[in-house]
Amino acid sequence: MEIKEFLREVTALPGLPGFEGPVGQYIVEVFEPLTDDQSVDVMGNVIARLGSEGPRVMISAHQDEIGLMVTGIEKDGSLRVSRNGGVDPRILPSMEVKVLAKSGALYGVVGATPPHLQAASDPKKAVELKDVFIDLGYSPQTVREKVRIGDPIVMISPLVELANDRVAGKTMDDRAGVAIMLECAKNMRRLKAPAQTFFVSSTQEEVGVRGAKTSAYAIDPDFAIAIDVTHGTGPGTGPFEAFALDKVVLVTGPNLHPLLNKKLKETAKRHRIETAVEVASGPTGTDARALQIACAGVPCVLISVPLKYMHTTVETLSLDMLREAGRLLAHFIDDVAREWGEFEWY
């Protein structure tokens, strides 16, 4: 499948932390022609294996998305909500949403008090979650019949194609990472890399890197690669906190292994893949945080997708960068696997 169409389809599927079933099943189907076997574990992690000999390599990119959950029903039938993941309340007013009720998906809008009815000081205040409500259009009685406390709520935002091979939409964090894994798998089949590679579409990263932690213990990898997003250069970003959208970002710091990072940079240079370096001085907020300290310790690297407008419904990235990242990882795994018997970690 072409990467743009994959992103169009995968970002449209619901997959809040703890409720990743629909998106996970789709990812199983997409990996099926590219890998030797596929499974879904009790945490909802999708694990697809390619190869049966050589070092055990785990690649992890999370499939869950940020969203909301129903916490209350008001007298007029409007819904009150809480976060499931890092939702910024400022982006919510006027958004279209879908409540995943047991009775079926219910479409709604996030309401806001009109400026005409606000006090003079209100427009200067930041929106808080307690001020957000969802209007389904139903009568209060019907809402109470259809909706339950705890029902998950996903945002609606179809993929938008921009100029210069760029796209915008929701859930690029981190289904763009899953897209990179698919590109990697395509390239690895061509290279016939002598490795056992486990592609993990992990769950519950947004609420504590939980799926990566459990799947790492199941796989017990020799080394691991995490894929996530970082901030792309745009309005309001500083010189050292954001990166050009067309470069693969390699992360360095104590969470990542220096020898593997050195190999990754050498591979990128040899294959003329443009990269940038991001420094993470402590544990990263990614699956690498859990992978490094799983089992008896797992040497890790982390690559990041430069992404504008993170944790919004218009997350923007370069499709060509995703293709290059997939190509880089395939060659990197191939390089390391062919030198595996000579590796000395320190």
Active site residues: 205
Q: Determine the Cα–Cα distance for residues 151 and 251; give it in Å rounded to an integer.
A: 37
Q: Are 176 and 228 in contact (CB under 8 A)?
A: no
Q: Helix 319-338 to helix 3-10 angle, to the nearest 10 degrees?
A: 110
Give the pair of three-digit tokens for residue 331: 């060659």
> Which distant-in-sequence residues (6+ apart) come within 8 Å of 53 by Cβ?
194, 195, 196
- Residue 103 near residue 146, CB atoms below 8 Å: yes
DSSP string, 160-172: EEETTTEEEES-H
With 0-12 / 13-18 / 19 or more C-beta atoms within 10 angstroms meaning exposed / middle / buried, residue 112 is middle
d(CA 3, CA 169): 14
Please list, residue by residue across 152-182, b when 16 or more beta carbons sit within 10 angstroms of its beta carbon and e when fewer do: bbbbebebeeeeebbbbbbbbbbbbbbbbbb
Angle between helices 21-31 and 3-10 (to 10 degrees): 160
Q: Which of 46, 16, 15, 17 is nearest to 30 (CA)?
A: 46
Q: Whole-angstrom Cα distance, residue 88 to residue 94?
A: 14
- Helix/strand/coil percent split, the chain, to 5: 30, 30, 40
Nearest Cα to Cα of residue 275 among 301, 305, 311: 305
326: its two tokens: 């997939």
